[in-house]
Amino acid sequence: MDKLVEITRERVGDKKLRFVIAHANVPDQAEQLKQKILSSFQCEEFYMTEVLPAAAVHNGEGLIEFGFCSSD
């Protein structure tokens, strides 16, 4: 999770961002990542949801998807 935050910081700097986290039955881990993101970036929007069933079947339980884009 720390590496995800580090890579995001390298790519976007201090821009305001929109984030999404999708997970496969690991809400506690997804919440941990959410807290790291909220404490590290200026979030204009933030969404957290469960992955689609097809992604869960192919990738398995424990999957966490993470995406972001600049709101500028």
In this structure, how many other beta carbons lie within 10 angstroms of the beta carbon of residue 56? 17
Q: Which residue has the tokens 């881990």?
A: 29
Length of the chain: 72
pLDDT value at residue 50:
94
pLDDT value at residue 9:
92
pLDDT value at residue 69:
92
Give the predicted TM-score (pTM) of the model. Answer: 0.85
**Domain spans of the chain, in order of start:** 2-7+19-70
**Positions of the chain with pLDDT under 50:** none
Determine the 3-state secondary structure of 62 from DSSP.
coil
pLDDT value at residue 64:
93
The whole-chain average pLDDT of the chain stands at 92
pLDDT value at residue 52:
87
Helix (H) or strand (E) holding 14: none
